[in-house]
A and B are shown apart, each in its own frame.
Chain A
Amino acid sequence: MRLGMKQLRRVPLFLFVGFYTVVTGGPLVWVAMMSLRTTAEIFRDPYGFPSPVHWEKFADAWVKSNYGTYFWNSTIVVVAAVALVTAIGAMAAHCLARYTFRGNRLVRFGILTGLVLPPQLVILALFQILLDINLYNTLAGLILVYVATHIAMTVYILEGFFAQIPQDLFDAARMDGYSDFEIFWRVTVPIGAPAIFTTVTLNFIVLWNEFLFAVVLLTDDDRRTLPLGLMHFTGSHQLDVGMAATGLMIAMLPIIVIYAFSSETMIKGMTAGAVR
């Protein structure tokens, strides 16, 4: 009987939890449904189920509405930037965590200052600089900017983790005659793999979604990344809600698929800077 009362008192909790789940999941499900319906169907009944299911809309969006180009641009930029920032960030973090040298703390402080610099403080000057060196409106320029602006967070996370690897391992490796680079490659990288994976996830999501740098530094339609492409498409085809929804799904799907398989890694990655 007491258990019954206790459960009853928890009813508001259940109701609220159910409500909030609908609030977060609902809009995403709604877009998923719209992505498989034509605009005419949507305007007839905005909240109906897709019947018939228009799978061909994805092919249309990919080819006719240029989403294929946007998707590949995003992929090139994000993969290149994440690979670069991970490699050079891990090297720097290893160096800062492992070696005692003059200026160690100054270098660390300099790099970690980047954690507090808002993009608005660099964006206008970056626009000028990329114009100066002829990298304005190129994917290469955007990649460089992404690497530079995400080094701080990458080094911050990796250095914290690398510093906890027991020094004995490195002493032993040195005794065995490993060179400095071998120590990095054969000790730090394998043992630090979980942290490296965390930064890869974080940088991948953040850069896949990045908008401000891209909107300032790219102008050509065939160089647009997905967020710019979506913005451009909804701006120029305001009434084609159906096709815009398909575009949204193309942008969201990679993230959702990865999230479905490795939700814990992604949650850990996204909150790595806030959870200590």
Chain B
Amino acid sequence: MRILDRLPRRAARDPDSAALDARRASLGILVAFLAPALLIYAGFTIYPVLRTFYNAFHTIKPQGVVEFVGLANFTALLFADSTFWKAVVNTSMFTIVATIVDVVGGLLLALCLFARAPFAPVLRVVWFTPVLMSYVVVGIIWVWMYDYDWGLANATLRFLGLSAFEQSWLGQPSTALWSVLVAHEWKWLGFNMIVFLAALHALPGEVLGAAELDNCGWLAKLVYIIAPMLRTTIVNLLVLSFIGKMMVFDLVWVMTGGGPLWASETVSTYVYKRAFEWNTFDLGYPSAIAVLWFIIILLFVAIMSRLLRQRDKLEF
């Protein structure tokens, strides 16, 4: 790297070759190319992040009233806020279950198509459609699916003669979070399926063919041959899915608003409520939640990638 850095600099002494070296440009040119992106990025992403960190240590009231409170927001959050802990528990359960369903379900769906199911190319496109729909659209559709009187969930139970299991899926604490999770998976399984399918098609045919010749059962083939070869993809999807689920907001907001009785409250919906719905009028406290949660996510992602990353790369 150091050599690469030096080469152009030496070339610069000769004016002719400097003008011809396509790897070099004057400062003015560099600024012209980078400035628009850097300015807008600095102003509307970096600065807001720093300001959020600043907010977390202050109480921010309307009309520019700012008061330094040190770690008070964090201590209140950790030791005196039962709603926050409820949100943490909900988000964690949601994340664990949804991440596993995402990866396992996506892999199984991909294997179905990889096993040359009829119309596989068409189904691949159809199964991906929900990924393109907005959370608001998905949320509203699933609110209707769960409707007590005419929703599909209860209608199916009635049709099967299982009326005893009819319930207000989103209206009671025991089922609300899991009902949202089903809708969430409905939207995202197709995404994981596509990523796995691409990885499966990139696998060397000879290895799978050899397993076929050895009369290897499909489950053994999956566990001992396919899964290890897909390790990188699996880890990537686990991390991606984990981050997405830890931040889950839109679908919960549309379907339950965090209710009933905080049964489906997530950290993100709680941040929103504390900032814009409660009459506390303080942006500092919700900022502290956002900062704390971000650090926790980073920590887990670091741990996950360290534990799961392939130590020695498989050669194939």
Contacts and interface: CB of A to CB of B under 8 A. Distances in A.
Contacts of B47: 125, 129
A232 to B, nearest CB: 10
B51 interface: yes
A33 B237 CA distance: 35
Nearest to A87: B36
Interface in A135-165: 144-145, 147-149, 151-152, 155
Q: Which of B22, B24, B47 has the most CB of A within 10 A?
A: B22
A24 B130 contact: yes
Contacts of A127: 275, 283
A164 to B, nearest CB: 15
B298 to A, nearest CB: 7
Interface in A184-238: 184, 205, 208-212, 215-216, 226-227, 230-231, 234
A88 B133 CA distance: 27
Nearest to B111: A13
Interface class of chain A by DSSP: helix
A82 interface: no
B53 to A, nearest CB: 9
Nearest to B283: A124
A92 B38 contact: yes
Q: Which of B23, B115, B140, B290 has the most CB of A within 10 A?
A: B140
B60 to A, nearest CB: 8
Contacts of A248: 137, 140-141
13 contacts: A10-B115, A88-B37, A89-B37, A92-B37, A110-B41, A125-B55, A128-B283, A144-B40, A151-B41, A211-B134, A248-B137, A252-B137, A271-B198
Interface of A: 10, 13-14, 16-17, 20-21, 23-25, 27-28, 30-31, 42-43, 46-47, 87-89, 91-92, 94-96, 98-101, 107, 110-111, 114, 116-129, 144-145, 147-149, 151-152, 155, 167, 170-171, 173-175, 180-181, 183-184, 205, 208-212, 215-216, 226-227, 230-231, 234, 241, 244, 248, 251-252, 255-256, 259, 263, 266-267, 270-271, 273-276
Interface of B: 4-5, 8, 19-25, 29-30, 32-34, 36-38, 40-41, 43-49, 51-52, 55, 60, 109, 112-113, 115, 117-118, 123-137, 140-145, 150, 152, 155, 186, 190-191, 194-195, 198-199, 236-237, 240, 243, 247, 249-250, 253-254, 268, 271-272, 275-276, 283, 286-287, 290-291, 293-294, 297-298, 301
5 shortest interchain CB distances as A-B pairs: A209-B134, A148-B44, A95-B33, A125-B48, A92-B37
Given A148-B40, A270-B132, 10 more contacts: A27-B142, A27-B186, A88-B40, A94-B33, A99-B23, A100-B5, A111-B37, A124-B283, A211-B253, A227-B136
